[in-house]
Structure 1
């Protein structure tokens, strides 16, 4: 996901709130310190290597 791209798409639609939201996300990401190797390892277990189609029971 690219916050800058999403902000530009929102601006093109005239969605000022969406644009402001994504620009805020981009600002937070740019100001955040880099992740430590421990943090990266913890996050990797939360990311699916191969996305699977998940269905819910009706």
Structure 2
């Protein structure tokens, strides 16, 4: 789900503040510069991937 979808859902509920918040989030994300290769590499380490098997606790 993305910010535009969340804004649309808020609008359907009549939640003007929620709609404005998610539209602002979408605008900020769209204006952000692209990540550098170093940032992408760091995020890959930090973000858990469900496709990778989890290690059992010892």
Shorter-normalised TM-score: what interval?
A: 0.7 to 0.9
Q: C-alpha root-mean-square deviation of aligned residues, in Å? A: 1.3
1:55 equivalent in structure 2: none
Q: How far apart are 1:28 and its partner, in Å?
A: 0.3
Question: Which protein has the larger Cα radius of gyration, Structure 1 or Structure 2?
Answer: 2
Q: What 5-or-longer segments of structure 2 have no aligned partner?
A: 52-58
TM value normalised by structure 2: 0.80
Q: Give structure 1 regions of 4+ aligned residues with deviation exceeding 2 angstroms.
A: none
Distance 2:21 2:41 in 1: 28
Distance 2:41 2:10 in 1: 33
1:2 equivalent in structure 2: 2
1:18 equivalent in structure 2: 18
TM value normalised by structure 1: 0.80
Q: What 5-or-longer segments of structure 1 have no aligned partner?
A: 52-58
